[in-house]
Chains A and B, each alone.
Chain A
Amino acid sequence: MTVVYALYGVAALLALAPIAIFLGAGPRATNIVYGASLIITAGLGVNALLGLFDHPATTSGVTLPLGLPWLGAHLRIDALAAFFLVVVNLGGAMASLFALGYGRHEESPQRVLPFYPAYLAAMNLVVLAADAFTFLVSWEFMSLTSWALVIAHHRDRENLRAGYVYLLMASFGTLALLLAFGLLAGPDGNYAFDAIRATHASAGLAALVLILAVVGAGSKAGVVPLHAWLPLAHPAAPSHVSALMSGVMTKVAVYGFVRIVFDLLGPPDWWWSMVVLAVGGITAVMGVLYALMQHDLKRLLAYHTVENIGIIYIGLGLALAFKANGMAVAAALALTAGLFHVFNHSVFKSLLFFGAGSVLNATGERDMEHLGGLIHRMPQTAFVFLVGCVAISALPPLNGFVSEWLTFQAILLSPQLPSWGLKFLVPAVGALLALSAALAAACFVKAFGVSFLGRPRTPAAANARETDSNSLAAMYFLAALCLVAGVLPGLFIDALAPVANVLVGTSMPHQSGLAWLTIVPIAESRSSYNGLLVFIFVVLSGSAAVFAIHRLASDRLRRAAAWDCGYPDPSPATQYTASSFAQPIRRVYGTSVFHAREIGAMPPPGATSAARLTVELRDLIWDFAYAPVAGFIGYAADRLNVLQFLTIRRYLTLVFTALVLLLLVLATWP
Chain B
Amino acid sequence: MALIRDFAFQGAQMVLVLLLSPLLTGFVRKVKARLLRRQGPPLLQPYRDLIRLMRKDVVLAQSASWLFRVIPYIVFAGTWVAASLVPTFRSGLLFSWSADLIAIIALLGSARFFLALAGLDVGTSFGGIGSSREVMIASLAEPAMLMIVFTLALVAGSTQLSTMAAVMVSGEVGLRVSLGLALLALIMVAIAENARIPIDNPATHLELTMVHEAMVLEYSGRHLALIDLSSELKLLLYVSVIGCLFTPWGIAGPDAGAQALAVGVATYFGKLAAGGVLLAVFETAIAKMRVFRVPAFLGAALMLGLLATLLLFVSGSL
Q: Which residues of A contact B (CB under 8 A)?
A: 372-373, 375-376, 379, 382, 386, 390, 393-396, 401, 405, 408-409, 411-412, 414-415, 423-424, 426-428, 430-431, 434-435, 437-439, 441-442, 444-446, 448-450, 453-455, 516, 518, 524-530, 533-534, 537-539, 541-542, 545-546, 549, 552-554, 556-565, 568-569, 572, 574-576, 580-585, 587-588
A390 and B113 in contact (CB under 8 A), knowing A408-B102, A518-B97? yes
Q: Are B226 and A545 in contact (CB under 8 A)?
A: yes
Q: Are A431 and B207 in contact (CB under 8 A)?
A: no
Q: Are B295 and A438 in contact (CB under 8 A)?
A: no
Complex CA gap A538/B129 in Å reads 28
Closest 6 A/B residue pairs (Cβ): A576-B128, A454-B123, A449-B120, A542-B77, A434-B143, A553-B54
Q: Are A561 and B123 in contact (CB under 8 A)?
A: no
| Contact among A412, A450, A530 with B159 in the assembled complex (CB-CB below 8 Å) | A412
Give per-residue flags for B69-99: 1 if the beta carbon is below 8 A from chain A beta carbons, else 0: 0000110111011000000000000010111
Contacting residues of chain B (106-163) with chain A, CB-CB under 8 angstroms: 106-107, 109-110, 112-113, 116-117, 119-129, 131-133, 135-136, 138-143, 146-147, 150, 153-154, 157-160, 163
* B257 contacts the other chain (CB 8 A): no
Complex CA gap A166/B153 in Å reads 44
| Contact among B63, B125, B305 with A373 in the assembled complex (CB-CB below 8 Å) | B63
| Contact among B124, B222, B314 with A423 in the assembled complex (CB-CB below 8 Å) | B314
* B218 contacts the other chain (CB 8 A): yes
**B315 smallest CB distance to A (angstroms):** 10
Which of B59, B63, B207 lies at the interface centre, i.e. has the most chain A CB atoms within 10 A of its CB?
B63
What 8 additional pairs, Cβ within 8 angstroms, besides A408-B146, A526-B158, A542-B76? A396-B107, A415-B312, A431-B309, A525-B163, A556-B58, A569-B125, A575-B128, A587-B292
Chain B residues with CB under 8 Å of A437's CB are 142-143, 146
**Interface pairs (26), CB distance under 8 Å:** A401-B106, A408-B146, A408-B150, A412-B153, A415-B154, A431-B309, A434-B146, A434-B147, A435-B139, A438-B109, A442-B135, A449-B119, A525-B163, A527-B153, A541-B76, A545-B80, A556-B57, A558-B60, A563-B59, A572-B123, A575-B124, A575-B125, A576-B120, A580-B128, A584-B133, A585-B135
Q: Are A438 and B140 in contact (CB under 8 A)?
A: yes
Complex CA gap A259/B58 in Å reads 58
Q: Are B120 and A534 in contact (CB under 8 A)?
A: no
| Contact among B66, B142, B160, B302 with A527 in the assembled complex (CB-CB below 8 Å) | B160
Q: Are B132 and A582 in contact (CB under 8 A)?
A: yes
Q: Are A557 and B159 in contact (CB under 8 A)?
A: no
- Kindly report which residue of chain B lies nearest to residue A541, judged by CB atoms: B77
Chain B residues with CB under 8 Å of A549's CB are 54, 222, 225-226
* B173 contacts the other chain (CB 8 A): no
A453 and B67 in contact (CB under 8 A), knowing A553-B222, A565-B207, A576-B120? yes
Chain A residues with CB under 8 Å of B76's CB are 541-542, 545
Q: Are A560 and B61 in contact (CB under 8 A)?
A: yes
**A433 smallest CB distance to B (angstroms):** 8
Which of A376, A412, A428, A438 lies at the interface centre, i.e. has the most chain B CB atoms within 10 A of its CB?
A438
Q: Are A375 and B135 in contact (CB under 8 A)?
A: no
Q: Are B116 and A554 in contact (CB under 8 A)?
A: no
* B217 contacts the other chain (CB 8 A): yes
Q: Are A431 and B218 in contact (CB under 8 A)?
A: no
| Contact among B54, B61, B160 with A528 in the assembled complex (CB-CB below 8 Å) | B160
Complex CA gap A516/B94 in Å reads 12
Chain B residues with CB under 8 Å of A538's CB are 74, 77-78, 81, 107
Complex CA gap A444/B114 in Å reads 11
- Kindly report which residue of chain B lies nearest to residue A398, judged by CB atoms: B110
* B62 contacts the other chain (CB 8 A): yes
Q: Are A562 and B124 in contact (CB under 8 A)?
A: yes
Chain A residues with CB under 8 Å of B123's CB are 372-373, 453-455, 562, 572, 575
* B56 contacts the other chain (CB 8 A): yes
Complex CA gap A532/B103 in Å reads 13
Q: Are B77 and A453 in contact (CB under 8 A)?
A: no
- Kindly report which residue of chain A lies nearest to residue B119, judged by CB atoms: A449
| Contact among A386, A427, A534 with B103 in the assembled complex (CB-CB below 8 Å) | A534
- Kindly report which residue of chain B lies nearest to residue A423, judged by CB atoms: B313
Complex CA gap A395/B109 in Å reads 7
| Contact among B54, B110, B121 with A454 in the assembled complex (CB-CB below 8 Å) | B121
**A615 smallest CB distance to B (angstroms):** 15
Complex CA gap A593/B217 in Å reads 33
A434 and B142 in contact (CB under 8 A), knowing A415-B313, A448-B117? yes
| Contact among B107, B128, B221 with A534 in the assembled complex (CB-CB below 8 Å) | B107
* B310 contacts the other chain (CB 8 A): yes
**A307 smallest CB distance to B (angstroms):** 13
Chain A residues with CB under 8 Å of B306's CB are 427-428, 431
Complex CA gap A446/B128 in Å reads 10
Q: Are B222 and A558 in contact (CB under 8 A)?
A: no
A529 and B98 in contact (CB under 8 A), knowing A386-B67, A438-B143, A585-B135? yes
Q: How many A-B residue pairs have CB under 8 A?
A: 287
Q: Are B139 and A581 in contact (CB under 8 A)?
A: no
Q: Are A554 and B55 in contact (CB under 8 A)?
A: yes
* B171 contacts the other chain (CB 8 A): no
Q: Are A449 and B81 in contact (CB under 8 A)?
A: no
Chain A residues with CB under 8 Å of B57's CB are 554, 556-558
Give per-residue flags for B35-65: 1 if the beta carbon is below 8 A from chain A beta carbons, else 0: 0000000000000000100111111111111
Complex CA gap A181/B184 in Å reads 52
A588 and B106 in contact (CB under 8 A), knowing A423-B313, A437-B142, A558-B59? no
Chain A residues with CB under 8 Å of B113's CB are 390, 393, 395, 441, 444-445
Q: Are B143 and A574 in contact (CB under 8 A)?
A: no
Complex CA gap A434/B98 in Å reads 21
| Contact among B74, B120, B314 with A542 in the assembled complex (CB-CB below 8 Å) | B74
Complex CA gap A454/B153 in Å reads 41
Complex CA gap A560/B67 in Å reads 17
Chain A residues with CB under 8 Å of B61's CB are 559-563
Q: Are B138 and A559 in contact (CB under 8 A)?
A: no
A395 and B117 in contact (CB under 8 A), knowing A430-B147, A454-B63, A562-B62? no
- Kindly report which residue of chain A lies nearest to residue B100, judged by CB atoms: A527
Chain A residues with CB under 8 Å of B310's CB are 424, 427-428
Chain A residues with CB under 8 Å of B309's CB are 427, 430-431
Chain B residues with CB under 8 Å of A408's CB are 102, 146, 150
Chain B residues with CB under 8 Å of A575's CB are 123-125, 128
Give per-residue flags for B287-318: 1 if the beta carbon is below 8 A from chain A beta carbons, else 0: 00001100100000010011001101110100
Complex CA gap A444/B125 in Å reads 19
Complex CA gap A3/B110 in Å reads 43
A455 and B77 in contact (CB under 8 A), knowing A427-B313, A442-B136, A580-B128? no
**A654 smallest CB distance to B (angstroms):** 59
| Contact among A396, A453, A524, A582 with B120 in the assembled complex (CB-CB below 8 Å) | A453
Complex CA gap A568/B131 in Å reads 18
Q: Are A528 and B98 in contact (CB under 8 A)?
A: yes
**A329 smallest CB distance to B (angstroms):** 15
Chain B residues with CB under 8 Å of A569's CB are 125
Chain A residues with CB under 8 Å of B305's CB are 431
**A466 smallest CB distance to B (angstroms):** 14
Chain B residues with CB under 8 Å of A427's CB are 147, 150, 306, 309-310, 313
- Kindly report which residue of chain A lies nearest to residue B121, judged by CB atoms: A453
Which of A386, A549, A558, A585 lies at the interface centre, i.e. has the most chain B CB atoms within 10 A of its CB?
A549
Complex CA gap A178/B1 in Å reads 66
| Contact among A393, A445, A557 with B131 in the assembled complex (CB-CB below 8 Å) | A445
Complex CA gap A583/B131 in Å reads 12
Chain A residues with CB under 8 Å of B163's CB are 525-526
A516 and B136 in contact (CB under 8 A), knowing A428-B306, A454-B122? no
A439 and B120 in contact (CB under 8 A), knowing A395-B110, A537-B81, A563-B61? no
Chain B residues with CB under 8 Å of A405's CB are 102-103, 106
Chain B residues with CB under 8 Å of A585's CB are 132, 135-136, 139
**A465 smallest CB distance to B (angstroms):** 17
